[in-house]
Amino acid sequence: MSDVFHLKILAIEKTFYDGDAISLNFQAFDGAYQILASHEPVVMAVKEGIMRFRVRDDKGDEVVKTGVNGLGLVNITRDMVLVLVDSIEAPEDIDRARAEAALKRAMEQLRQDQSIQEYEQSKASMARAMLRLSQAGNPFDGHGER
């Protein structure tokens, strides 16, 4: 039995990753999950968070890749894991100034009178901006260390 599976991570505007993986870690609404090869088939909702997956580089060494992801779904079959998210960025691609501006906007929106739906959207925007800032320019070294 193989210890790898095919992993495809797609965002609305791009393919973030398409290749073999050893494991996938992500946040769902009922907790954190780790997917390994031959996982039981299932479909789950993905919560905003930090997605990590292990792959092998050209030399055969295990490397950890990271992305800050938005909401989405993961579809796990016997031989493939498909992740569909509204957004995902590598930590080194996050624009710190843009994330800080988004946080400021969200905090200002929370101070305004809003409907319940608008309030929840503002909270989500603030959480997303804080998550992006926590990872901005903070990539893994490729072997799971910061």
Q: For tokens 């999950």, what's the residue?
A: 33
Entry field: residues in the chain: 146
Task: Look at residue 134 and tell me whether its pLDDT is greater than 80.
Answer: no
Per-residue model confidence as pLDDT tens digits over 43-88: 999 999 999 999 999 998 999 999 999 899 999 998 899 999 998 9
Task: Show Cβ contacts of residue 27 under 8 Å, excluding neighbours closer than 6 positions.
Answer: 33, 46, 47, 48, 49, 50
Classify residue 57 by its DSSP letter.
Answer: -
User: Exposure pattern of 32-65 as b/e (b: 16+ CB <10 Å)?
Assistant: ebebebebeeeebebbbbebbbbbeeeeeeebbb
Three-state DSSP at 49 gives: strand
Q: HSE on the CB side for 11, CA within 13 Å?
A: 16
pLDDT of residue 138: 54
pLDDT of residue 78: 84
pLDDT of residue 112: 82
Q: What is the mean pLDDT of residues 18-29?
A: 96
Task: Look at residue 146 and tell me whether its pLDDT is greater than 80.
Answer: no
pTM: 0.76
Residue in 49, 92, 45 with CA at minimum distance from that of residue 70 = 49
- The distance of Cα 102 from the centroid of its chain, to the nearest Å, equals 18
Q: What percent of the chain has pLDDT over 70?
A: 92
Domains of the chain are 5-91 (2.60.15.10), 92-135 (1.20.5)
Distance CA 33, CA 25 (A): 6
Residue 19 is encoded by which pair of tokens?
A: 């290749």
Task: Look at residue 145 and tell me whether its pLDDT is greater than 70.
Answer: no
